Amino acid sequence: MAWTPDGTRLFFDEQATGDVRVATADGTVLPQPFAHLDGDASSETGLLGVAVDPGFPQQPWIYVYYSDPALGLNRL
């Protein structure tokens, strides 16, 4: 999970569903996922982590760590 530098939003991953979700500073979780990645969430595969670019929002990048079980590859 990762907060935006201004502390207004928390991006977090739900490994079991493959969803990247967003919560606001008051703890409200937005109803729609920010992103979704398909894949097996068993062992150390699927969606494994999320990070926010330190220059956010001027550099509006959200990074995810994803391990594809079918290909045996890790991706950022």
Whole-model pTM: value is 0.79
| Sequence-distant (≥ 6) Cβ neighbours of residue 39 within 8 angstroms | 18, 45, 46, 47, 66, 67, 68, 69, 70
In this prediction, residue 69 carries a pLDDT of 72
Average pLDDT score over residue span 19-44: 88
Number of domains present in the structure of the chain: 1
Q: Is the pLDDT of residue 61 over 80?
A: yes
Collapsed DSSP state (helix, strand, coil) of residue 35 = strand
Owning domain of residue 61: 2-75
How many angstroms from the chain centroid is the CA of residue 68?
A: 15
Q: Is the pLDDT of residue 50 over 70?
A: yes
